[in-house]
Homo-oligomer: A and B are copies of this chain.
Amino acid sequence: MKNNSNGLKLIEKLKEKSASYKVVDLYKRKIVVAWPDKLVENVIDDDVELKVRVSKPWQLASNEWKKDKTIVNVDGIEIGGRNIVVAAGPCAIEDEDIAIEIAKAVKKAGAKMFRGGAYKPRTSPYTFQGLGENGLKILRKVYEVVGLPIVTEVMDTRDVEKVASFAHMLQIGARNSQNFPLLREVGKAKKPVLLKRGMSMTTEEWLLAAEYILLESNGDVVLCERGIRTFEKNTRFTLDLAGLAYVKTVTHLPLAVDPSHPAGRRDLVEPLALAAIAAGADMLIVEVHIAPEKALSDSEQQLTISMFEELMKKLKMVAEALGRSI
């Protein structure tokens, strides 16, 4: 819409046509999304600055109307620009001292954000389920002491407000990637969102999941590839960098990769992380622990500090070869 328009005239016209619509504030623009196509295509209004008919099922996530790449700002850290952002930390938060120690180490090695789970989606109810709110408090303490912004998962619509009050970026895990009420709720929370791809989600469904968040006027979405489920058994998941490369051609949103979960074992994290940035990832989220063998979850795939330091060196060299920094 044009600058001072409240869009009311347009909405009136859409109502006349019985079209569906939603008014969205996104990237400092006021946007009226209206559908279905056949009802909307001939609606004309003077207050409309630009009318775009997007050819893909995803509308707001498409780069057909927004040609510049979106940069998501997480407490001052910019994701989607020339610099590649690395978030690192343990799978789950288990202890404050350990968390702080890890955070200091990964920060020193070049990480710009801290990751760690307080609420853990676990396949079995008989495994460690995370510390919950106590985990969130530890994460906040890590931020205060070490200064790295926090990304952590939220699993329940009832917890979104609470998690948002502790963390800087809300993670939607693979198992909740089509939990539509939760997607709407993190949209409303107006915090940056790291949206993991579900393990059997098509790239189209992934973009449509982002669309649920964008439609709540929250444009700060980073799409995170973390491996899909296939028949191959010697790795935990199959990292789909072809899918990532495809998505990059159709969206303005930044793209992240989690190399730890597809690897499933720490010696495969490095080649996958390097491949991810070579394929165009804007962000990496890596599991690191000072003593992985003692971790209560995913102990096989968390890097040691020295492995992470080594990885960061190589990432920097490849990033520079590609005209980026880290």
Which of A's residues lie within 8 Å of B, judged by CB?
20, 35-36, 57, 59, 121-126, 155-158, 175-176, 178-181, 198-200, 202-205, 208, 211-212, 215, 227-235, 237-246, 248-249, 262-263, 267-268, 271-272, 274-280, 314, 317-318, 320-322
Contacts and interface: CB of A to CB of B under 8 A. Distances in A.
Contact of A157 (B158, B228, B268): B158
Contacts of A232: 202-203, 228, 240, 242-243
A275 B279 contact: yes
Given A230-B230, A231-B229, A272-B242, A180 B158 contact: no
A244 B179 CA distance: 25
Contacts of A175: 178-180
A278 B263 CA distance: 15
A233 B233 contact: yes
Contacts of A262: 242
A184 to B, nearest CB: 9
A204 B231 CA distance: 12
Contact of A279 (B57, B248, B272): B272
Contact of A233 (B202, B228, B238): B202
Given A204-B234, A238-B238, 10 more contacts: A57-B126, A122-B180, A124-B211, A126-B211, A203-B232, A228-B230, A239-B240, A241-B275, A245-B268, A245-B271
B267 A208 contact: no
Q: Top 3 closest A-B pairs, CB basis? A: A200-B200, A278-B278, A321-B321
15 contacts: A123-B205, A124-B208, A124-B211, A176-B179, A204-B234, A232-B240, A234-B243, A234-B246, A235-B240, A235-B243, A245-B268, A249-B268, A272-B279, A314-B322, A317-B322
